[in-house]
């Protein structure tokens, strides 16, 4: 769970792990709530929001956080199941001291995690995460009974967020001639996303809107697209929208059943804004963004800046570059002129608005970008491995780069959320890059004595 700057618990996206294994235990989460309450609460506001996705352990951790926050004197506003970006939005508009999300995003139900938002609806800065970790090392002290925090439920949270999502596209845009299949991954958007598109006029067919605590992300959502692709073709729909378990990422499917990933969505949004005479000089992608995105943007005069992988790093680069639009191929799209964090529903709406302005289908809009073949293999780790200072691995990387010459690139990246090394090779020839990726993954795997899986 370590991260940069010596963090013990916080990774690139909060604290995450398997339920019941430290630190994702009721005892730790109780103290985490107390530590967060001590750090987040200020003289201006001592209210902290708690929202969650639909996995069964959310009930347990919601109660633990609530108890810890109350012991620290923070008042709690309970939102129930809500998308991660909704919690960011409501933290800001309800003038809370902070927001807490109980979610493991696209992971299976037996994982869970805790993410935080500051009063501005942005991810916590490093100094606040470090302050919470410092507080975790201190003995937990419960305030006098008269100073304990109180809890109440926000009854209209879903309605507030639905109206906000609708407000992010011009009121002149109607979706009343679109037939859309929406896959909510049996996650936090199940009672929100369908209504956003329905209220804007679309005919909506739903998938993954029957959460039972165990089926979140199970063969559905942004990481499992086969069902959505088949349903779009079966229904003769104009497109499909797949969200992940906590609603901060989106992948779309065009009318032919072809996947439209985050790189293509970012291109569509950027190009549409440029054509609408909105100044778009640059956007932010990541080290994993397809070379085809960089080339397609360059053809229309837009520069692609690359950040490290992870939406917090995309946000950092957006701030550094003074840009408002960025994203990842996984479907985390950030429109800072609309909201403060990645938002699957709002990103999908920007694409639908582009379709309406242009009068073109999703397939036609994505055709302006030609993706380079890309092969990624995950090598599971049984112990830490410094791939950047391993001579055998780096020699293999140089060999692959020599073979590609200037026709592609190689990237090794340790995952920030699971014990794997991601081996990515990208280039013009699919057969060549697959062979190179397998060779490189084999070298990494042999350093572990483990078989590569991809």
| Residues known to be catalytic | 105
Evaluate whether 435 touches 424 at the Cβ level (below 8 Å): no
Phi, psi angles (nearest 5°) of residue 100: -125, 135
Q: How many helices (H) and strands (E) does the chain have?
A: 14, 18
Residue 416 CB neighbour total at 10 angstroms: 16
With a CB cutoff of 8 Å and minimum separation 6, the contacts of 431 are: none
CA distance 153 to 77: 6
For 369-419, strand residue ranges (E) read 374-380, 408-414
Evaluate whether 355 touches 361 at the Cβ level (below 8 Å): yes
3-state secondary structure 36-50: HHHHHCCCCCCEEEE
Q: Within 13 Å and on the Cβ side, how many CA atoms surround 437?
A: 26
CA distance 441 to 423: 6
CA distance 349 to 360: 15
Question: Pick from 365, 425, 378, 374: which is nearest to 399 by CA?
Answer: 425
Q: CA–CA distance from 443 to each of 77, 257, 400, 422 (Å)?
A: 51, 36, 12, 13
Both tokens assigned to 319:
């701030």
First to last CA, the chain: 23
CA distance 343 to 121: 12
For 190-266, strand residue ranges (E) read 203-207, 239-243, 250-253, 259-260
Please tell me whether residue 180 adopts helix, strand or coil conformation.
strand
Both tokens assigned to 449:
């004595």
| Sheet arrangement for strand 151-153 | 15-18, 111-118, 98-102, 47-52, 75-81, 151-153
CA distance 169 to 348: 11
């Amino acid at each position: 769970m370590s991260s940069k700057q010596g963090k013990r618990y916080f990774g690139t996206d909060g604290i995450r792990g398997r339920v019941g294994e430290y630190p994702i235990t009721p005892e730790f989460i109780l103290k985490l709530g107390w530590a967060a309450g001590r750090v987040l609460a200020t003289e201006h506001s001592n209210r902290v929001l708690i929202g969650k996705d639909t996995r069964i352990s959310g009930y347990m951790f919601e109660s633990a956080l609530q108890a810890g926050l109350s012991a620290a004197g923070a008042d709690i506003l309970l939102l129930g199941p809500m998308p991660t970006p909704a919690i960011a939005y409501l933290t800001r508009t309800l003038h809370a001291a902070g927001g807490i999300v109980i979610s493991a995003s696209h992971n299976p139900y037996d994982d869970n995690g805790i993410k935080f938002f500051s009063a501005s609806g942005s991810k916590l800065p490093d100094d606040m995460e470090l302050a919470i970790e410092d507080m975790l090392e201190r003995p937990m002290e419960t305030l006098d009974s008269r100073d304990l925090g109180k809890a109440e439920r926000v009854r209209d949270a879903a309605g507030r967020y639905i109206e906000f999502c609708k407000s992010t596209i011009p009121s002149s845009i109607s979706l009343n001639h679109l037939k859309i299949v929406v896959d909510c991954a049996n996650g936090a958007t199940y009672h929100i996303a369908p209504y956003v598109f329905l209220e804007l006029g679309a005919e909506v067919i739903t998938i993954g809107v029957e959460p039972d605590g165990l089926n979140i992300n199970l063969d559905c959502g942004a990481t499992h697209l086969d069902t959505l692709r088949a349903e779009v073709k079966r229904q003769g729909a104009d497109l499909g929208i797949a969200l992940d378990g906590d609603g901060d990422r989106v992948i779309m499917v065009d009318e032919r059943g072809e996947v439209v990933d985050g790189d293509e969505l970012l291109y569509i949004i950027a190009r549409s804004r440029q054509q609408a005479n909105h100044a778009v000089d640059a956007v932010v992608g990541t080290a994993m963004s397809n070379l085809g995105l960089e080339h397609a943007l360059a053809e229309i005069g837009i520069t692609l800046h690359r950040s490290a992988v992870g939406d917090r790093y995309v946000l950092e680069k957006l701030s550094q570059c003074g840009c408002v639009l960025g994203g990842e191929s996984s479907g985390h799209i950030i429109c800072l002129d609309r909201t403060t964090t990645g938002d699957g529903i709002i990103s999908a709406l920007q694409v639908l608005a582009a379709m309406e302005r242009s009068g073109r289908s999703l397939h036609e809009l994505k055709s302006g970008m030609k993706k380079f073949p890309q092969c990624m293999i995950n090598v599971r780790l049984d112990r830490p491995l410094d791939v950047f200072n391993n001579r055998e691995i780096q020699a293999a990387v140089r060999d692959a780069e020599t073979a590609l010459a200037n026709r592609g690139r190689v990237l090794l990246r340790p995952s920030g959320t699971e014990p794997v090394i991601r081996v990515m090779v990208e280039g013009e020839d699919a057969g060549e890059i697959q062979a190179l990726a397998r060779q490189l993954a084999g070298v990494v795997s042999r350093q572990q004595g483990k078989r590569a899986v991809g």
